[in-house]
Amino acid sequence: MRYWHGHGHVLGGWGIGVMAILTLLVLLVLVLAAIALFRYVSRSRRPLPHGPAGPGAAGPGSGSAASGAAGPGWGAPHGAVAGPTPEQLLAERFARGEIDTEEYRHRLDTLRSVNGPGDG
């Protein structure tokens, strides 16, 4: 009868190195999976906007009779709440004092122009 006394399972220099690299790779995959899960969960829990929900507040495709669209916002699923419009964001910047009256009026005129921004 032959006794191994543990000598048959000893790792050599390469075995220890490969095991260390594989351990680091497994840890890296676990960390990346945790980061991806955290980002996914934090993206799905954004607070709902608290702006007015009247007609035209959601922008193009808000479901009004003039647009003929069935869903709110730009391709949002039915029943979803659209975010603030560009005009609302501009008004918030003006209210916080980030832009002056002249810049506010210029940007508002650009947003409301028929051709949109960039087509002057």
Over the chain (120 residues), what is each successive 10-residue block's mean pLDDT? 54 82 96 93 66 48 44 53 83 92 92 66
* 44's tokens: 């799905």
Least Cα distance to 92 among 107, 113, 73, 109 occurs for 107
Give me the pLDDT at residue 52, please.
Answer: 53
Cβ neighbours of residue 112 closer than 8 Å, sequence gap 6 or more: 87
Give me the pLDDT at residue 86, please.
Answer: 87
Give me the pLDDT at residue 48, please.
Answer: 56
- Count the residues in the chain: 120
Give me the pLDDT at residue 17, please.
Answer: 87
Give me the pLDDT at residue 116, please.
Answer: 58
Strand, helix or coil at 21?
helix
